[in-house]
């Protein structure tokens, strides 16, 4: 099976259960990966990496990565 193969799926992002994976770096800067479950009709839930956000300087005030709506 080829690595890094493109796929296409449909479903709804579940912002209520997303989380930040700490201690991730990008270009030498500290930050978080934003991981959000994708709920699919009659199929397994997939964990989607929505990207990296920078560390805010304190863990008591996490970056706002909320979803605007539960659009497909």
User: What would the mean pLDDT of 23-40 be, rounded to a whole number?
Assistant: 95
Which tens digit of pLDDT belongs to each residue from 48-70? 999 999 998 888 889 999 887 65
Mean pLDDT taken over the chain: 90
Cβ-count burial of 31 within 10 angstroms (0-12 exposed, 13-18 middle, 19+ buried)? Answer: buried
At 57 the pLDDT is 87
pTM: 0.82
The contacts of residue 7 (CB under 8 Å, 6+ apart) are none
Gyration radius from the chain CA atoms: 14
Alpha-carbon span 23 to 55, nearest angstrom: 9
What are the backbone angles phi and psi of residue 16, rounded to the nearest 5°? -70, -20
* 19-26 and 29-39 beta bridge pairing: antiparallel
């Amino acid at each position: 099976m080829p690595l890094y193969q493109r796929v296409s799926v449909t479903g709804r992002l579940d912002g209520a259960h997303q989380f930040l994976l700490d201690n991730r770096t990008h270009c030498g800067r500290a930050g978080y990966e934003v991981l959000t479950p994708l709920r699919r009709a009659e199929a397994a839930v997939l964990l989607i990496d929505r990207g990296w956000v920078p560390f805010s300087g304190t863990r008591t005030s996490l970056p706002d990565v909320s979803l605007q709506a539960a659009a497909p």
